[in-house]
Amino acid sequence: MSQQAEKQEPAARELQEEKFFFVRHGQTDANLAELAAGAGWDIELNATGLAQARALAESVAIEYFRSVKTICVSPMIRARQTADIINEVIRAPVIEIEELREWHLGEWERRSWHELDFRIGNPPGGESNDEFANRVVKGLAAALAHAGPVLIVAHGGVWHRIARHLELPHGEIDNCQLKHVRRPHKHEVWSVS
């Protein structure tokens, strides 16, 4: 490669579109019962959650996934099960990223969401909001360091933190919902669809 080509290459990379995909795991019995299931409760998908993951893998949305080079997944069973089902179709390398685990909710684990008072801030015996946010940002950076586009399969709380970090308007996400996150180039703002 010539010296002139080497000088242009970094500049060209900065002008390339950046994108990644995010999928929240399929439904669990905790989701169905509206119970808090953070990092302290490693619950499996229920029958509906397995069907949701299969439906996503077989949907027209899978066309988005055809370009995925790497799947980065939370090590929690519900996320792994979802990623494994999707990967039956796209067949990309799967990388577990510890920082993509759900928020550790301490004493709030297995309690009804309606009982919890988020005004007190941090869950007793769990991970603080700041600790969780910082961990997720590290997990996102680790995921995006892999060959892309990347598909991240993780949790609702993780998506909420990513959306806040990237200043995206859509912090809510349903089970097995696909989010397509992109920006025209490195110096632009992220958008989601």
25 catalytic, yes or no?
yes
Tokens at residue 40, please?
């302290």
Q: Please state, in angstroms and rounded to a whole number, the distance separating the CA atoms of residues 26 and 99.
A: 19
Is 40 buried (19+), middle (13-18) or exposed (0-12) by CB count in 10 A? buried
Q: Which residue out of 34, 63, 99, 102 is catalytically annotated? A: 102
44 catalytic, yes or no?
no
Q: Which residue out of 6, 9, 25, 155 is catalytically annotated? A: 25
How many C-beta neighbours within 10 Å does residue 189 have?
Answer: 9
Q: Please state, in angstroms and rounded to a whole number, the distance separating the CA atoms of residues 22 and 171.
A: 12
Active site residues: 25, 102
